[in-house]
Structure 1
Amino acid sequence: MSVRLRIIAAMQQIAVEQQVKLPPLHDELSLHETGFDSLGFAILVARLEDDLGVDPFTLADDAAFPLTIGDFVRAYENVPA
């Protein structure tokens, strides 16, 4: 399964658990518009770290939190090996 699909699947699972109604997810969707709160994003990043073995937001000193779904996915896809 691709990184993108793993992220989307994790978001969908967390939305069910947190009772968040997700809009259709696409690259241009603002993370704010997902309906996730700070706890939802914390859970997402923690689960992705467990699943993918990396947290791109702690690897770089100058890492900025992404603004859109596409930015978020690219942060994980572009982690140096």
Structure 2
Amino acid sequence: MNCREKVLELFFEALESTESNLNGELQDNTVLLDSGLDSLGFAILVARLEEELGFDPFVEMEEAVYPTTFGEFVAIYENRAK
């Protein structure tokens, strides 16, 4: 399973565990704040990704980056995995 697939899997898991609903279809240009996942959901997502992938790119960054779209979020994980 590649990094994008893992992020997708755990994104939907976080939606389910927080009883949230996806607002529309999840695409790379989906704005994270409009995705249906709240701050608790994102905390769960990032924690689960760290468990599964073995790293948290946000902790490792020298300069903080805050992705605004789902595609940017995935790209942060994909770039770190390389």
Q: TM-score range by the shorter chain?
A: over 0.9
Distance, in Å, in 2 between the alignment partners of 1:65 and 1:7 is: 16
| SS of equivalent to 2:80 | coil
Aligned counterparts, 1:34-53, within 5 A? 34-53=35-54
Query: TM-score, normalized by length of structure 2?
Result: 0.91
The CA deviation at 1:10 is 0.4
**Aligned-pair Cα RMSD in Å:** 1.2
Gaps of 5+ in 1: none
Distance, in Å, in 2 between the alignment partners of 1:55 and 1:48 is: 7
Deviations 1:10-58 (A, max 9, x none): 0111111111111311100000011111111000000000000111101
Distance, in Å, in 1 between the alignment partners of 2:25 and 2:13 is: 14
Name the residue aligned to 1:57.
Answer: 58
Distance, in Å, in 2 between the alignment partners of 1:26 and 1:71 is: 11
Q: Structure 1 residues 80, 5: CA separation in 2 closer, same or farther (over 3 Å shift)?
A: closer
Name the residue aligned to 1:3.
Answer: 3
Query: What is the count of residue pairs matched by the alignment?
Result: 81
Name the residue aligned to 1:25.
Answer: 26
Query: TM-score, normalized by length of structure 1?
Result: 0.92
Gaps of 5+ in 2: none
Overall identity of the aligned pairs, in %: 42
The CA deviation at 1:65 is 1.4
Distance, in Å, in 1 between the alignment partners of 2:53 and 2:32 is: 20
Name the residue aligned to 1:68.
Answer: 69
